[in-house]
Structure 1
Amino acid sequence: MTASYRVFLEKEQLVFSAAHFITFNGNICERLHGHNWRVSAEVSGPLDENSYVIDFIALRDELQAIIAELDHRMLLPTGHPTIEVHASEREVEARFEDRRWVFPREDCILLPIINTTAELIAHYLAGRLLAALKTRGVDVPERLVIGVDENFGQWALCELTPSRAETT
């Protein structure tokens, strides 16, 4: 008989409030709006010497620190082909076609993604979490799934399966 293990983390404090807008179908751009985003994590892998897949406290603390950076911010994509984002020390200007937004620099998070969809935010969080866990000395899991809920039941999931090269 073989066993597989996974842990699931969803806590009240794994929430952030942030504004964004997305583009779709080429040239349609949503209005600026916000969500109370909820985040979950599922980690799969073998048990370690403590009989853990992963230390819940390490997982919670690292994920919470990452999402705290997004809380009460404007999320802007830096890799979008038609949204131009220019940041100075004091402000960030975003442009899409004939639309223009200017935000205080301290209110913005510039994300290295092409669109601020829940799917790509989940991917961003998963990559950041893997890096944070590795820095903390936690073994990289066999599988990591990050969920991002933007509207009470509208979840996007990103599953990463780190390669062996990423674990060393």
Structure 2
Amino acid sequence: MNTRIYKEVFFEATHRLIHYRGKCFRLHGHQWRVEVWIDGKADERTGIVLDYNCIKEVVGRFDHQVILNKDDPMAACIEEFHPVVTTSGDPTSEHLAGLIAEMIDAEAARQGHDARVAKIRVWESTTCYAERTYDRQ
């Protein structure tokens, strides 16, 4: 029998979108909100699908970071003063949703849990989010 758990996590981070022509081309920050739904089998001994702290720790890797496309020329300049988290494309909420889901799935597997992200929402403001859903049947 599968069980679904939910966790909400917030982080602060700066990003910019080099392939976008508008305000988001400029370096700017958000308070990001991540909502994650995990489907899995509860451990027989503990009754836990996945420790909520696992989700918090994965998302926390982005907290107070500068997140840039690996091809952004600004990345090397900023890296002289502050670590930069680079992504394979522009760090949109859509892209971050997929990346964070992959990271959570990998950490759950590493810890030996039979648990996967079923749905994830990444909010970059109080009115805008990207959502990914996964059919794992």
The whole-number CA distance in structure 1 between the counterparts of 2:33 and 2:104 is 15
Aligned CA-pair RMSD: 2.8
The answer for the alignment partner of 1:22 in structure 2 is: 17
Matched, 1:68 2:42: no
Structure 1 ranges of 4+ moved more than 6 A = none
Select 1:145's aligned residue among 103, 119, 131: 119
What letter is aligned with 1:125?
I
CA distance in 2, matches of 1:73, 1:23: 17
1:1-168 aligned within 5 A: 5-10=3-8, 14-24=9-19, 28=21, 30-45=25-40, 49=44, 54-55=49-50, 58=51, 60-78=52-70, 83-85=71-73, 92-93=75-76, 102-105=77-80, 106-111=82-87, 113-141=88-116, 143-162=117-136
Q: Structure 2: 5+ residue runs without aligned partners? A: none
Q: Which has the higher contact order (CA 8 A, sep 6+)?
A: 2
SS of residue in 1 equivalent to 2:91: coil
5+ residue gaps, structure 1: 87-91, 94-101, 164-168
TM-score for both structures, normalised by structure 1: 0.66
TM-score (norm 2): 0.79
Describe the shift of the 1:52–1:144 C-alpha distance in structure 2 as closer, same or farther (beyond 3 A): farther
The CA deviation at 1:50 is 6.2
Q: Deviations over 1:88-141 (max 9, x none)?
A: xxxx42xxxxxxxx2135331122x31110010010000000000001111133
Give how far 1:53 is off.
Answer: 7.5
Greater radius of gyration (CA)? 1
1:152 Cα shift? 1.2
Give me the whole-angstrom Cα distance separating, in 1, the residues matched to 2:85 and 2:112: 27
